[in-house]
Amino acid sequence: MVTEQYSRSTEATPNEGPAYVRSITWGAPAAASAPAPWRSAKLRAMPELPEVETTRRGLAPHVVGRTIARIEVREPRLRWPVARTLPSTLADHRIEGLERRGKYLLFGTDAGTLLVHLGMSGSLRYLPDVTPAGTHDHIDIHFADGGALRFNDPRRFGSFIHTNAPAEHALLRELGPEPLGSDFTAEYLWRSSRHRQVTIKQHLMNGKVVVGVGNIYASESLFRAGIHPSRAAGRIAAARFEPLVAAVREVLRDAIEEGGTTLRNFVGGDGKPGYFRGALRVYERDGQPCVRCAAPIERRVLGQRATYYCPRCQR
């Protein structure tokens, strides 16, 4: 049954899913031909919590309160096949809220919740006037009073799932606390790390410990907190968790804010969330001087993920 199907995959899905390398960022297909500074940067990234939160904030004013007329699924083969019954289940129901849990968007209706994950390359755009679908435009949610929400996903790792009980759904129920919520405290993170041999960076990136701290954000948070990424989580003193939790929150808040400002809009053709490029202090800066002490930033691979740190500032 559905539960088993997803629970197996949850195991393989920490915060970020498989460690694939992508050469371009996510966003609208129109952007692919447009020269943009973020395209030349070697982005090994996919939508992470800040991008999903930016998407939520960008879309909410356009979709909440709108009634779904019909859902057009052109390509059901996403990470999990889109249920054949999804369109008829949600048609004629109103979107009452748009929430986020980890990297899932939750479109709430009185006929249950639509869980959307952007996967590795997915994006959602609101179209006030529906244009012909392009390549990779897999799903349109048409609204009764015009306009549509369009899902584009070249790599098809995204998902569209209907559930009546989102909190108990296999994909959500084991998620750790929200990093910006009140449950993510220094005390909590310290407790969660006791007797853990795993590195602090991998511990932070474990979605069962805390959601949404992806590779970029883990490196940046540890730099800000002055903690060496390869230290064993269980051997870090309690006092160091206060600055670490503060750093995680700060890095994510900054990224959400930057996403909000670089985001042109989610309406029309080329809305795309911006990555947190401007403020990166260590990520992909190997060989460049540390902003604090000028020592060259180093790169090493931890848990198969590139990790950047200052060998002098981070202990």
For the annotated catalytic residues, the residue numbers are 47-48, 103, 305
Q: Which residues contact 43 (CB under 8 A, 6 or more apart)?
A: 22, 23, 24, 25, 275
Q: Which residue is nearest to Zn ion (CB)?
A: 290
Q: Report the nearest approach of Zn ion to the CB of residue 308 (Å).
A: 11
Residue 53's identity, in one-letter code, is E
| Nearer to Zn ion among residue 17 and residue 226 (C-beta) | 226
Interface with Zn ion, residue 313, by CB under 5 A: yes
Q: Report the nearest approach of Zn ion to the CB of residue 279 (Å).
A: 16
Near Zn ion by CB under 5 A, which window of 148-156, 211-219, 265-273, 303-311? 303-311
Q: Report the nearest approach of Zn ion to the CB of residue 292 (Å).
A: 4
| Nearer to Zn ion among residue 104 and residue 308 (C-beta) | 308
> If residue 219 lies in a helix (H) or strand (E), which one and from where to where?
helix 215-225
- CB-based burial label for 124 (10 Å; 0-12, 13-18, 19+): buried
Interface with Zn ion, residue 310, by CB under 5 A: yes
Cα 136 to chain centroid, rounded? 20
Q: How many CB atoms lie within 10 A of CB 85?
A: 9
Q: Report the nearest approach of Zn ion to the CB of residue 252 (Å).
A: 22
| Nearer to Zn ion among residue 156 and residue 240 (C-beta) | 240
For residue 144, give both structure tokens: 């009764």
Please say whether the beta carbons of 236 and 193 come within 8 A: yes
Binding residue for Zn ion, selected from 194, 293, 300, 315, defined by CB under 5 A: 293
Cα 123 to chain centroid, rounded? 11
> How many residues sit close enough to Zn ion to count as binding (CB under 5 A)?
7
Q: Report the nearest approach of Zn ion to the CB of residue 240 (Å).
A: 17
Q: What is the largest CA-CA distance in the chain?
A: 60
The interface mask with Zn ion, positions 253-292, x = CB under 5 A, is -------------------------------------x-x
Please say whether the beta carbons of 104 and 91 come within 8 A: no
Q: Which residues bind Zn ion (CB under 5 A)?
A: 290, 292-293, 295, 310, 312-313
